[in-house]
Structure 1
Amino acid sequence: MEFSYDDHDDVPLTKFESMLKTNHVLFFDSEEFENIIHHYLNQGKIALAKKAIKLGLDQHPTSINLRIFKVEIYVFEDKLIEADKLLNELYSLDPTNEEIFIQKANIFSKKDDHEQAIAVLKQALELTDDVVDLYSLIGMEYLFLDKFEEAKEYFMKCLNEDSEDYSSLYNIIYCFEFLNQTEEAVAYLNEFLDTNPYCEVAWHQLGKQYYTLKNYKKALAAFDFAIISDDTFVGAYLERGKVLEKLKKFEEAIENYTITLKLDEPTSFALLRIGNCYEKLKNDELAVQYYYKTVHEDPLLDKGWIAITRYYNKKRNYQKALYYINKAINIDSENVIYWKLYSQINQRLNHFEEAERGFKKTLDLGNYELNTWLSRGDLLVKLGEPETAVDNFEQAVVFYPENAEIEYRLAGLYFSLNETDKGTFHLKNGLRYNAEYSFILEELFPEVTSKILVKNILNLNQ
């Protein structure tokens, strides 16, 4: 039994802590020590657990259970050799104690020898009638090995023994999802719900599977049943709101998200979704109010800042949009979408150097879209950096060979740099790939089109 400060069964714990303060040694039976140690381990108070183990063994030196706790501490502190040695001693004293096998498996698991851990845990199964915890431990070891079918089998065994073991239910669904077995997950959950019709967690998970399958009508029904089973289930209201958004029922979605704000502390997710719904309903004033509430609730939520950025960008208030995109980038500087938006906003403000920097960052992050190469190169031309622009477009050719838009730009740049042979080569390439795009040369490099050589090449292709 674990102690709690909220009940009347914590007398031994209070007595123990009083003893630590006064240094008067008091007697406890071994079971009381076990409960005290278990309490401290659950609370993460390792130092106090170690004190209790030491004092317990002083009073009960032959207690196997207290020595198993000592093994547990050894394992926690990665003292695996000491743990193994003590376990071997205990096994010789009590070879049918399943806890010894569990700790042995724990050591194997710590050593990443999960197959051996599973073998030991299966031995322990033969020694106990209390199999649920062992099934769960075996399932976890299979997860470590990425053996999701086997893991799923053992978590299902847990749920067969205890239908309220929601941790195992979540693990089962995790395995189904990892294996991309959405239809199979739906079948399993429906079968489970036949015998457990008021399990809100199962209804919630079923709704999520239907959502993945884009069967929004059935998803909505599943979330309805989850709410009928537990009308305070915040997760079900949130998921129901998402489905209603997909069905374009934005007012109803807002109602569901608003319920979650009343049931629990406001979440930035719900506030952001409400803002999005109001934006879809063309109520910009309320939309931006909720976006601001979102970032007030969670200042580190980049999606909140980006929502405000897009709002002001749409309103053509580019100064404010720039302020908020910088907030988003400060939180997530590796997000390609943010850097592209940063560049577009700076372009509209004629901040060409900053816009170019943004496109370069986008490319550095591995986003090699054609438009990114073209936009960055054109900005470099505008900034009077033709050599860097050439490097940019030469890199782009690697990703987009035989692309006329790149070839005309390279032609214009090389002619501008008086590298006539290279300019001629790329101009002829551009005309061969798509003659209709030759206007790019005149648009970006008007001085080049006045060159006699360029005019002659263009005339030959008319």
Structure 2
Amino acid sequence: MQLSNEEEDYNLSLSKFESMLKTNKVLFFDSEEFEEIILHYLDMGKAALAKKALKLALEQHPKSTGLKLVQVEMLVYDDKLELAEKLLNELYAIEPTNEEIYIQKANICSKRDQHEKAVELLRIALKYTDDYADVYNLIGMEYLFMDNLEMAKESFIKCLEEDLEDQSALYNVVYCFEFLDQNQEAITYLKKYIDKNPYSEIAWHQLGRLHYGVKEYENAIRAFDYATLIDDEFLGAFMEKAKAFERLKKYDEAIESYSRTIELDDATSYALLRMGKCYEKLGNKALALKYFNQTVHEDPLLDKGWIAITDFYVRQKNYQKALFYVNKALAIDNQNRLYWKRFATINKQMNFFEEAEFGYRKAVEFGDYGLDTWLFWVDILQFLGEFESAIQTLLQASEYFPEENEIEYRLAGLYFMLTDNTKAKFHLSNALRLNFDNYILLEDLFPVVWAKKMVQNYIAKHKKQ
């Protein structure tokens, strides 16, 4: 690729400066050359070289406002705000119409969390600048710091009116729309933007994302198609397009798009996992398993990969293999509630009830507070004859689900089993109030209790009320 004259001059200045540092010969640079060299080192994170360049620059051009403004930028970078402010006030006395002075003053205010003052200064900068886009972008960022998303959005839109190609402003506009739950308005805005700038792959990609967010999957695919036509290596657009195809149950097309992401970059565990899921939906179990295995090979810590393999074997009713894989997963992360719940479910299917009880207990211990987890755990405790533990577990569950009839019926049944009739009747009364028709649970789970005449009479009496 041929370099422009400006790029050649810039590279020449850099190599000339670095050669000077090595030989200790002092060479002359004009002030603009120095500015570019210093900013280059700052962008590269090479602060020591930037400071060395600035020192030499000010020795050669002690009156250069541009270099002094770069000095201000470096002082702000080092959090020497008072020194920076003092220098800015001196520069202001010389050049009160230099927009960069107001921008740097605003930068200092921003660092001090004085964002409204920063916006005031940036609005003054607008009067003197030729680069409106940059200043509007800075104003937008200050409004973001203030959580004023509406004004931020307005500023980023103005930035894009000045410079259609400003990609960061485009991302920020969409972010503001989404944060304000204005997805349809964002779609309308992006369509108008695309009318002016039809070859912006970023705009097409963002439009596709927004259509996907409001479940307009066909429109999303169309937008992603345009993004990938403009840039046939746009990995994110291929990934999003694949997800949209999945939503439409077009699994072959989804696989094709996921495959393209793997061609463009190293295989990601996410793409491999989704391809496995697609092949499973298409009934191709061998390929599904192949991609699930590749997923965990690529990222052994990805819980979704291990769960996919485990669930695959559960669906095949091959519980022995499912148990093998869930144990492998637990060996990697034994504090994962998703693994423990599957461990419990599989053991329950294999009639290993003590192991199943242990699994449900661990799942809850590590944060699974779903109602079904509590109930499965309690039913196994009851089956094992551990009535007291079952009651304590249900009382714990009732803190999360205070008005759940399935908990109340079980508490009633367990208290009847322990012949604590007062507590049993209290919980049975609660259960019948919450859902009378579900008293069948007593018959299913506690046939001995159900057979008691006292229980039958209590339910009948409640029915009459």
**2:454 — aligned with what?**
456
Q: Matched residues in 2 for 1:145 and 1:339: separation?
A: 43
Return the letter of the residue paired with 2:412: A
1:179-234 C-alpha deviation (Å, 9 max, x unpaired)? 12122122112212222222222222222222223222222222222233233333
Distance 1:440 1:406, change over 3 A: farther
**2:446 — aligned with what?**
442
**1:12 — aligned with what?**
13
2:307 and 2:326 in contact (8 A); partners too: no
Q: Matched residues in 2 for 1:401 and 1:223: separation?
A: 47
1:84-132 C-alpha deviation (Å, 9 max, x unpaired)? 2222222223222222211111111112221111111111111111111
**1:65 — aligned with what?**
66
> Which stretch of the first structure deviates more once superposed, 411-420 or 42-51?
411-420
Q: Matched residues in 2 for 1:342 and 1:310: separation?
A: 11
Equivalent residue runs for 1:256-267 within 5 Å = 256-267=257-268
**1:286 — aligned with what?**
287
Q: Matched residues in 2 for 1:37 and 1:22: separation?
A: 19
Which ranges in structure 1 are unaligned for 5 or more consecutive residues? none
1:101 aligns with 2:102: yes
Q: Matched residues in 1 for 2:18 and 2:55: separation?
A: 14
TM-aligned CA deviation for residue 250 of structure 1:
1.2
Q: Matched residues in 2 for 1:428 and 1:142: separation?
A: 57
1:355 aligns with 2:355: no
Distance 1:341 1:50, change over 3 A: farther
1:3 and 1:10 in contact (8 A); partners too: no
TM-aligned CA deviation for residue 425 of structure 1:
3.4
1:323 aligns with 2:327: yes
TM-score normalised per structure 2: 0.85
Q: Secondary structure at the match of 2:147?
A: coil
1:210 and 1:219 in contact (8 A); partners too: yes
Equivalent residue runs for 1:205-244 within 5 Å = 205-244=206-245
Q: Matched residues in 2 for 1:199 and 1:398: separation?
A: 53
2:37 and 2:53 in contact (8 A); partners too: yes
Return the letter of the residue paired with 2:372: N
Distance 1:303 1:107, change over 3 A: farther
**1:410 — aligned with what?**
411
Distance 1:276 1:175, change over 3 A: same
1:356 and 1:380 in contact (8 A); partners too: no
Q: Matched residues in 1 for 2:231 and 2:61: separation?
A: 47
**1:144 — aligned with what?**
145
Return the letter of the residue paired with 1:360: V
Q: Secondary structure at the match of 1:266?
A: coil
Q: Matched residues in 1 for 2:343 and 2:90: separation?
A: 66
**1:123 — aligned with what?**
124
2:224 and 2:238 in contact (8 A); partners too: yes
Return the letter of the residue paired with 1:137: L
1:44 aligns with 2:58: no
Return the letter of the residue paired with 1:282: G
Q: Matched residues in 2 for 1:182 and 1:460: separation?
A: 55
Q: Matched residues in 2 for 1:149 and 1:429: separation?
A: 50
Q: Secondary structure at the match of 1:217?
A: helix
Q: Matched residues in 2 for 1:310 and 1:441: separation?
A: 28
Q: Matched residues in 1 for 2:32 and 2:206: separation?
A: 40
TM-aligned CA deviation for residue 360 of structure 1:
1.8
Q: Matched residues in 1 for 2:227 and 2:28: separation?
A: 50
**1:200 — aligned with what?**
201
> Which stretch of the first structure deviates more once superposed, 348-357 or 280-289?
348-357
Q: Matched residues in 1 for 2:183 and 2:214: separation?
A: 7
Q: Matched residues in 1 for 2:22 and 2:135: separation?
A: 38
Q: Matched residues in 2 for 1:143 and 1:286: separation?
A: 47
1:17-69 C-alpha deviation (Å, 9 max, x unpaired)? 33334444444332222111111111111222122222322333322222222
1:302 and 1:328 in contact (8 A); partners too: no
Q: Cα RMSD over matched residues?
A: 3.1
TM-aligned CA deviation for residue 258 of structure 1:
1.6
Q: Secondary structure at the match of 2:446?
A: helix
**2:167 — aligned with what?**
166
**1:371 — aligned with what?**
372
Q: Matched residues in 1 for 2:212 and 2:430: separation?
A: 49
Return the letter of the residue paired with 2:165: E
2:442 and 2:450 in contact (8 A); partners too: no
1:139 and 1:154 in contact (8 A); partners too: yes
TM-aligned CA deviation for residue 440 of structure 1:
4.7
Q: Secondary structure at the match of 1:129?
A: coil
Return the letter of the residue paired with 2:362: G
Return the letter of the residue paired with 2:17: F
Distance 1:252 1:435, change over 3 A: closer
Q: Matched residues in 2 for 1:287 and 1:107: separation?
A: 56
Q: Secondary structure at the match of 1:265?
A: coil
| Count of paired positions | 448
Distance 1:459 1:310, change over 3 A: same
1:400-428 C-alpha deviation (Å, 9 max, x unpaired)? 44644323432344455564532443355
Q: Matched residues in 1 for 2:215 and 2:329: separation?
A: 32
Equivalent residue runs for 1:327-346 within 5 Å = 329=333, 337=338, 339-346=340-347
**2:463 — aligned with what?**
none
2:338 and 2:363 in contact (8 A); partners too: no
Q: Secondary structure at the match of 2:170?
A: helix
Q: Secondary structure at the match of 1:126?
A: helix
